[in-house]
Structure 1
């Protein structure tokens, strides 16, 4: 008798434990199920009760004379059973709502909360606190849904939708039950990414939906896909049902695995039924992936007696690899010529545990115009179970903080050991880089490589030039002194781009051009301040601006007013290119000579020949031509065809005083502009258009060896010049 009583007590305790696992913590949040039940599809089933609570404590009391309406909708495939009428008996007030005492009283809640309307799939409650709501608690009421019909299409999570917009109560979807279709339910845990060698997959659970579903002799089978093998270490456990050869739990070993596994199939035989509560069996597979298995999902099939054949993903096989990415995905702006640009933290993370094994490397290489200036020290490090070293190479000499030194472009991370069971991650933070002054604007991409096999480009920054310089591009004449080229405007692209530490900014004229005088300087935007502006030396071809204070509030704009220049007779016709350079915008270049070599070029004038002078002489078959006696070089030679002389478009335009900016070519149409005169010619056509007036030439422009060639006489005369030919020379006079 005592033994029977003890067995009965154990049975009751097991039942209580099973039920407790199904009960959600009451009022753990605000609104939600007080009990998430487990049920089956079919008619007249019960689902869990729902607590509907106000969002903020005291709102119902503060508006106790206001009437609110809250509707609860059943999900698709679920409706109230015939004869199920929701009324006061279905409404109750629990003692507590979250951490608060309930503002409703259970004995009077039916006065505050009433059923306003009910349909097949919804019920609407009318709520008015009135004298039935307390000022000290948090209002909430519990709904018992009674009997409902659950179609097979609704199998799974049963979530009701609470519509309480415009009321103090919470809206949203709330899980109240889980409905299963059929005799058993098969589920699997989260499929983790694993490697190929004997690793655990997600646990598979085969659960009865009612007691004694499994009968003695029933089989439970788990079939793995091709090229995935069962491995020793697989775990089996049972609750409520018994399985042959498994006493509660069992770990498969090399000596017993053949008792359960045949090829790709693990088979369990039931030899004891559940009684008081539904039972379940769990299998935690340990698996090997063969080389022929393509990386991706591992889908196991669970089948057997009283089991609907079910496919579950239990793992994701990945080849050993790492991912390299920006921690905050923050592609920062960096400035060319600056030595301490910050970039986002770079994370190097395994995609599969132990990918980073001893000797494997990941390299991070900056482009040729960038270098690490703040980075982890060379040496050994430990991160979780991973030990590794960091080293550097591909160094160049640059200046940092005013001092020249060798700084690397390439970082190598080499694993020296890995005992970690999770995906280890290396965090490279507080990184700073120097960017050369002549670096191209746009994405700065780091090359990721190494013996681990990862190959990618990671954009870590966007490069901007420190300044943009523009001129008015006025025409100036060869051999004329004291000519105005208008204003030169220097705009910072970011505040502080022109630094006080660099001290000087230089504006240099092209060869053969000097400044007539030192121009005035105005700061038209920002709070940048100029100390002095003067000639840098006795040649008068370089202006030196000394920085007094750099901009701190916004990018500044500096204007050199009405700049005047002298142009000698050796200057070539065409665009007049000036340059801006100096330590004020280039902290990085090693030498002052390098600083000048990395100057920013801009056009601040267009050189033309004086009216009435001999403009140019072209020699047939020669790449040399002269402008006012000064020899120039072309990349194509003039030639004669059909009795007409053809000259390369660019050099013919220069000779006629047309600047490079005013030479256009689009869709086979050449457009030359000088002052008010616009000349258009079409490749392969004899039509000539001058300021909209059409005429016909006796030859057509053409492309020869990739160069556009124009008939010299027609083009020159269109601009008012005269053309002569003698002894293999074409002479153009303006």
Structure 2
């Protein structure tokens, strides 16, 4: 069918539905007036007072309309003569009156001439198994909305049933069915409870017996259970218990007195005998009773029984449907499991911490072995070891000298602490639930962090030691953990975190997906290409785009070269741009030039973008050619200070012939210094600021600050060293040493005489303009009128 046709049909259907008024009808509340009645096989119910009846409450009818439905029988039949002879009132008030000579009757007040205006109901015989019933709405007004409909019938089978059948009629009646009478000599029905699982031994499911009628078990009963599988036998009859409920609810059943359990024809057979009730208990029973048999145990006759259902033959003349091959247990090989709370993985945004709750247990008794260890391991994530150690350490934490609080400890210092945990404190905080059943016994003795090759805490792994008494309990053991889990921002591209439990305490290794990782932001980059030995080179771009609002937290994002002391430093202003729902953002470069930091003073209200571009970078002459990684870190993107790496972000190359001369290795260009000014004109034409000014020294030498002349031609700050009155300059192909108060310069190891001595003024080293030009291998020109010294490197 084409889409247009489907839409047309859907619209037409909607119109039909909306055009038809909908009437919501309430259901009736139905029940048998009496419990199942014991009667002889072909017996009949001829008396209203002794027959069973269907009790129906039409609470929401309120006289609005008649209720029409059917009462259908099985293992019994309707007979007209029973209604024609019914002259005994249910409560001395009601009777059936035949309508003419038909097989139909009004049911209502005794002694009155009944018709549709005053009768409670009308019965119309359809056939031997079906009776049409009309309950008159006038009788259901006000609070009088309950009717009792007698079942006058003859038994044709063992267990007679009556059913309320609506057959689409005009009624609010609820369909129901009951056994209203029994002619069976059987004393009880039975059912088997939930099937337990075990391997070589265990307790089978409970056996529940329900009387077929009140008092059917009063004179006792006998049941034989025979194991169909030769791999097992019964054992330990002394712990079998019987508990009564309903009609037996106030009675106590004692093993050996009120019932006995004994070996049958062999060890695979057991006979349960229920003795007759005492006279007092018989008199006290007021309804059908139920008996629940528990504590019946079996044990394997072989070390490796076959897996599957444990089948037992149920034999008894006293039970309805006693049969062979009834499942009482599941035989399963030893196995363990791990499962998440609500069977769902936890969503964690990379860089954040969240609780993860999971359960480790056994599917078969004794699959978990006491006195042994197992490990809980995470991949792609860590346990929040800082929180766990601070709050739940088994040992007193001693802070190192100079550290005043736990928060001041570095991650490495925390990892060096003792990793043993206080198990009792974990239980109190509901991070661990490991009690055995309803007892005070526990499964776990110790929990501690594993340690790595450097003897530091391994935050991915916990070692769990189990109680040695675990094997003596007969429970299906399980342990529930709730651990704070930290997903590193470095794993933001990973999809999941798997949790694994393995070790000698567990029969099998088990694992499951514990966490679904949410990527908080995407990163786009444009590489920064720079050259060796040049200052303040500009370029590169990094853009962080949130995948949703509030993905980047309030705090800092720091950009730094992956390798410390690399010879690459940041300086100057960096361009910062934001888009979307983020505001109040700042950026700065630290004085040491090691990093550039973006500070977010609030989180975003919608997915936002942060762009950092035109990094200003100085590369000293010692930096080798190649690619360098950039590290992005900070508390705005990771709670643990973890980082992501932008590989090959900075590309360092050798300066080409357009940048330097072949002779001196310095940058080409012209720089101008003016006497008395604290600024100079750089080779790119921009004005640069100095913290020292050029001056004239008698008898007429023009003195310039050595550092700034060198920097003007590409010598980095790191290549200018000061110490003990000596300045050392690595300037292109030359290594120069100048000594305060001396007119001798050392150039590549050779002494060079200068016209005047080197001077230190206000912490800066000065040399004559002509001499510094000659030493650096560049040319100079002096303009006496403008009082400028022009340095040129061609």
TM score, norm. by length of structure 2? 0.50
Distance 2:326 2:351 in 1: 56
- Is residue 363 from structure 1 mapped to residue 375 from structure 2 by the alignment? yes
Question: Is 1:558 matched up with 2:571?
Answer: no
CA distance in 2, matches of 1:386, 1:174: 47
Shift of 1:37: 1.7
Decide whether the 8 Å contact of 1:299 with 1:315 is kept in 2: yes
Cα distance in 2 between the residues matched to 1:182 and 1:601? 86
**1:233 aligned to which of 229, 233, 237:** 237
Instruction: Look up the SS of the partner of 2:611 in the other structure.
Output: strand
What RMSD in Å do the two structures reach over aligned CA positions? 6.2
Change (3 A) 1:80 1:360: farther
Which residue number in structure 1 is paired with residue 639 of structure 2?
587
Alignment of 1:269-280 (within 5 A): none
TM-fit CA distance, 1:144:
3.1
Structure 1 unmatched runs, 5+ = 1-28, 96-104, 399-403, 569-574, 590-594, 606-734
Deviation track 1:498-539 (CA, whole Å, cap 9, x = no partner) reads: 222x423549899999999744523314xx333213556797
1:465-476 → structure 2 map (5 Å cutoff)? 465-470=519-524
Q: Is the 8 A contact 1:30 1:52 kept in 2?
A: yes
Q: How does 1:85-234 map to 2 (within 5 A)?
A: 111=118, 113-115=120-122, 119=126, 125-127=133-135, 129-130=137-138, 132-133=139-140, 135=142, 137=143, 139-147=145-153, 160=164, 169=172, 171=174, 173=176, 175-177=178-180, 187-193=190-196, 195=198, 196-197=200-201, 199=203, 201-203=205-207, 222-233=226-237
- The residue that corresponds to 2:338 in the other structure is 324
Matching residue within 392, 398, 412 for 2:448: 392
**What is the match of residue 531 of structure 1?**
585
Unaligned residue ranges in structure 2 (runs of 5+): 1-27, 46-50, 94-107, 249-254, 393-420, 428-433, 619-626, 652-794
Give distance in 2, aligned partners of 1:113 and 1:586: 77
Q: Is the 8 A contact 2:166 2:175 kept in 1?
A: yes
SS at match of 2:61: helix
- Distance in 2, matches of 1:469 and 1:41, equals 86
Q: CA contact under 8 A between 1:212 and 1:273: conserved in structure 2?
A: no
Give the drift of 1:545. 1.9
Q: For the Cα contact (< 8 Å) 1:531–1:547, is it kept in 2?
A: yes
Residues 488 and 92 from structure 1, CA distance in 2 versus in 1: closer, same or farther, beyond 3 angstroms?
Answer: farther
Contact 2:125–2:132 (Cα < 8 Å) also in 1: yes
CA 360–530 in structure 1, closer or farther in 2 if over 3 Å, else same: same
Looking at structure 2, the residues matched to 170 and 421 of structure 1 have their Cα atoms a distance apart, in angstroms, of 49
Q: Is the 8 A contact 1:361 1:415 kept in 2?
A: no
Hey, what does 1:19 align to over in structure 2? none
Match of 2:518 in 1: 464
Say if 2:165 and 2:176, in contact at 8 Å, map to a contact too.
yes
The answer to whether residue 249 in structure 2 is matched with residue 250 in structure 1 is no
Report if aligned partners of 1:165, 1:171 keep a CA contact under 8 Å in 2.
Answer: no
- The 2-side partners of 1:133 and 1:43 are apart by 36
How do 1:503-582 residues align onto structure 2 when only pairs under 5 Å count? Answer: 503-506=556-559, 518-525=574-581, 528-534=582-588, 544-551=597-604, 556-560=607-611, 580-582=632-634
- Cα–Cα, structure 1 residues 220 and 484, in superposed 2: closer, same or farther, change >3 Å? closer
Deviation at 1:459, TM superposition (A): 1.7
CA distance in 2, matches of 1:557, 1:140: 67
C-alpha displacement of 1:447: 0.3
- CA shift in 2, pair 1:333/1:268, >3 Å: closer
Q: SS at the partner of 1:584?
A: coil
1:564 shift after superposition: 6.2
Give the 3-state SS of the residue equivalent to 1:549 in structure 2: coil
Question: Aligned to 2:268, which of 264, 271, 294?
Answer: 264
Aligned to 1:60: 61
- Give 1:31's aligned residue: 30
Given candidates 354, 357, 360, the residue that maps to 1:341 is 354
Instruction: Give the Å deviation of 1:207.
Output: 7.7
For the 8 Å contact 2:188–2:216, the answer to whether it is kept is: no
Query: C-alpha displacement at 1:455, in angstroms?
Result: 1.9
CA separation of 1:263 and 1:209: change in aligned 2, threshold 3 A: farther
Residue 454 of structure 1: aligned partner: 508
Q: Cα 1:548–1:52, aligned 2, differ >3 Å: closer, same or farther?
A: same
Cα distance in 2 for partners of 1:89, 1:599 equals: 97
In the alignment, which residue of structure 2 is the partner of 1:497? 551
Call closer, same or farther: CA 1:209–1:498 in 2, change over 3 Å. closer
C-alpha separation in 2, matches of 1:34 and 1:535:
88
1:650-669 aligned at under 5 Å gives the runs none
Q: Using a 3 Å threshold, how does the CA distance of structure 1 residues 529 and 190 change in structure 2: closer, same or farther?
A: same
Name which of structure 1's ranges 227-236 and 106-115 shifts more when overlaid on structure 2: 106-115
* Offset, 1:453: 0.8
- Partner of residue 288, structure 1: 299
The answer on 1:378 being equivalent to 2:422 is yes
1: CA distance, partners of 2:87 / 2:515: 65
Instruction: Work out whether residues 163 and 171 of structure 1, in 8 Å CA contact, stay in contact via their aligned partners in 2.
Output: no
1:465–1:488: structure 2 CA closer, same or farther, 3 Å change rule? same
- Confirm or deny: 8 A CA contact 1:224 1:299 kept in the other structure: yes
> Per the alignment, do residues 191 and 422 of structure 1 end up closer, same or farther by CA in structure 2, a change over 3 Å counting?
same
- Once the two structures are TM-superposed, the CA of residue 229 in structure 1 deviates from its matched residue by 0.9
Q: Match of 2:237, SS?
A: coil
Equivalent position SS for 1:328: helix
Bigger share in strand: 1
CA-CA distance at 1:300 after TM superposition: 1.0
For residues 605-627 of structure 1, give each alpha carbon's deviation from its aligned partner in whole angstroms, at most 9, with x where no partner exists: 9xxxxxxxxxxxxxxxxxxxxxx
Tell me, yes or no, if structure 1 residue 313 matches structure 2 residue 292. Answer: no
2:19 corresponds to: none
How many corresponding residue pairs?
Answer: 517
- Closer, same or farther: CA 368–578 of 1 in aligned 2, 3 Å: closer
The answer on whether the counterparts of 1:164 and 1:171 sit within 8 Å (CA) in structure 2 is: no
Structure whose alpha-carbon radius of gyration is higher: 2
Shift of 1:313: 2.0
Change (3 A) 1:414 1:41: farther
- Structure 1 residues 411 and 360: alpha-carbon distance in aligned structure 2, compared to 1, 3 A threshold: closer
Sort the Cα spacing of 1:30 and 1:91 in 2 relative to 1 into closer, same or farther, 3 A.
farther
Secondary structure at the counterpart of residue 358 of structure 1 = coil
**Is 2:337–2:360's contact at 8 Å kept on the other side of the alignment?**
yes
Distance 2:326 2:515 in 1: 42
CA contact (8 A) 1:93 1:141 kept: no
1:696 corresponds in structure 2 to none
Following superposition, the deviation at residue 444 of structure 1 comes to 1.3
Structure 2 Cα separation of the partners of residues 166 and 188 of structure 1:
38
Task: Quickly say closer, same or farther: Cα 1:204–1:174, change in 2 above 3 A.
Answer: closer
1:387-424 per-position Cα deviation (integer Å, ceiling 9, x unaligned): 232312235799xxxxx987452241512434655445
Structure 1 CA distance for aligned equivalents of residues 553 and 195 of structure 2: 52
Change (3 A) 1:334 1:475: closer
> What is the deviation of 1:194?
5.3
Residues 503 and 483 of structure 1, relative CA distance in 2, 3 Å threshold: closer
* 1:464 to partner: Cα distance: 1.7
Quote the Cα distance in structure 1 between the aligned partners of 2:221 and 2:350: 77
Q: 1:599 aligns with which of 636, 645, 650?
A: 645
Cα distance in 1 for partners of 2:512, 2:559 equals 36
